[in-house]
Amino acid sequence: MGKKSLGKDYLTINEFAELVGISASALRHYDKTGAFKPEKYGNDFENKYRYYSPMQITTVKMIRVLTEIGVPLSKIKELTKNRTPEELLKLLNKQKNIIADELIFLQEAHTLINAYMNLLNAGLCADETEFSVSEMP
């Protein structure tokens, strides 16, 4: 018995990558980490390539959004094994809280940088008669 014909039901990695707007190397990385596998591997056909189904577009777009908001691939891999609206909501809520904490930290860092910049600018603009030294407790 010969190899099966691939037909038009599947997309090559490059076709799929272009369709979903991510790189083929990202898809290979997702496959390597187990976060997102191709529908078929070329072992069943005449080559060893990865093939994707158009039905996988929604899943990979969700993975792309999750990675862009900082969700680690290990968490995404867990989610793809138990993909329910409840699990996705739990993951999104956790990520929202992480981002809220990061925003607070970044705002504090921004305020601190502005304070230092103001002090440095004031020091650069001061003339020699404006300097004084005093002992602080």
pLDDT tens sequence across 47-94: 678 899 999 999 999 899 999 999 999 989 888 888 889 988 999 999
Q: Decide if 60 is inside a domain.
A: yes
- The CATH code of the domain that includes 109 is 1.10.1660.10
Print the domain residue range for 107: 11-126
Q: Decide if 2 is inside a domain.
A: no
Stated pTM of the model? 0.65
Q: Decide if 133 is inside a domain.
A: no
Per the structure, the count of domains in the chain is 1
User: What is the overall mean pLDDT for the chain?
Assistant: 86
Q: Decide if 4 is inside a domain.
A: no
Q: Decide if 118 is inside a domain.
A: yes
In this predicted structure, which of 24-33, 47-56, 95-104, 128-137 has the lowest mean pLDDT?
128-137
Q: Decide if 32 is inside a domain.
A: yes
Q: Decide if 122 is inside a domain.
A: yes
* Distances, alpha carbon 29 to alpha carbons 2, 40, 73, 80, 96, in Å: 31, 16, 10, 15, 25
